[in-house]
Amino acid sequence: MKLGVYSICLPDYKREDAARLVKAIGYTGIEWTVGYPDRVFESGEQWHVSLDELEQDAPRAKEVAQNHGLEIASLGTSSATDDVEKIERLMKAAQVMGAPMLRIGSAGYDGSTHYNALAKKVIRDYETIQKMAADNGVKALIEIHGRTICCSPSGTLRILENLDPQHVGCIYDPGNMVTEGLENLRMGIEMLGPYVAHVHAKNMCWRHDETKGWYWDNASLAGGIADFELMFRALADYGYTGYINLEDFRGGYCVEPEGITTQEKLTEGFEYMSGLLSALA
Q: Domain segments of the chain: what residues?
A: 2-280
Q: Are 35 and 46 in contact (CB under 8 A)?
A: yes
pLDDT confidence tier of residue 97, bands split at 50, 70 and 90: very high
What's the rounded mean pLDDT across residues 212-234? 97
Q: What is the pLDDT of residue 69?
A: 98
Q: Looking at domain 2-280, which of 2.70.70.10, 3.40.640.10, 1.10.3720.10, 3.20.20.150 is its CATH number? A: 3.20.20.150
pLDDT confidence tier of residue 171, bands split at 50, 70 and 90: very high
pLDDT confidence tier of residue 259, bands split at 50, 70 and 90: very high
What is the phi/psi pair of residue 21, to 5°? -70, -45
pLDDT confidence tier of residue 211, bands split at 50, 70 and 90: very high
HSE of 12 in the Cβ direction (CA atoms, 13 Å)? 14
pTM over 0.85: yes
Q: What is the pLDDT of residue 64?
A: 98
pLDDT confidence tier of residue 186, bands split at 50, 70 and 90: very high
Q: Are 142 and 160 in contact (CB under 8 A)?
A: yes
Question: How buried is residue 137: exposed, middle or buried, by Cβ count under 10 Å (0-12/13-18/19+)?
Answer: exposed
Angle between helix axes 115-136 and 153-160 (nearest 10 degrees) is 60
Q: What is the pLDDT of residue 232?
A: 98
Q: What is the pLDDT of residue 107?
A: 98
Beta bridge partners of 18: none
Tell me the pLDDT of the chain averaged across its residues. 98
